[in-house]
């Protein structure tokens, strides 16, 4: 992937979008407690995986 080419890193951008549901872009992470960061991490990790177009054909 090339620098500043976010469209080449789809999974990365998807994950960033999930994080942005809880933490606003540009926010200093020092304002969040470790417990809150862990809560966000756990919520994201427990999400159901997105179904792919071919998921029900196998």
pLDDT digits (tens, 9 = 90+) for 9-38: 778 888 889 999 999 999 999 999 999 999
Q: Please tell me the number of Cα atoms within 13 Å of 39 on its side-chain side.
A: 8
Rounded to two decimals, the pTM is: 0.63
Task: Give 27 or 55, the one with higher predicted confidence.
Answer: 27
Spatial distance between the Cα atoms of 25 and 18, rounded to a whole number of angstroms:
11
**Residue 13: partners with Cβ closer than 8 Å, 6 or more residues away:** 6, 7
Do the beta carbons of residue 47 and residue 19 sit within 8 Å? no
Is the model more confident about 33 or about 1? 33
What span, in angstroms and rounded, lies between the C-alpha atoms of 49 and 16? 15
pLDDT confidence tier of residue 54, bands split at 50, 70 and 90: low
The structure tokens 């159901």 sit at 48
């Amino acid at each position: 992937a090339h620098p500043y080419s976010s469209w080449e890193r789809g999974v990365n951008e998807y994950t960033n979008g999930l994080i942005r549901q809880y933490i606003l872009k540009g926010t200093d992470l020092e304002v969040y407690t470790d417990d809150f960061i862990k809560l966000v991490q756990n919520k994201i990790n427990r999400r159901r995986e997105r179904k792919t177009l071919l998921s029900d054909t196998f």
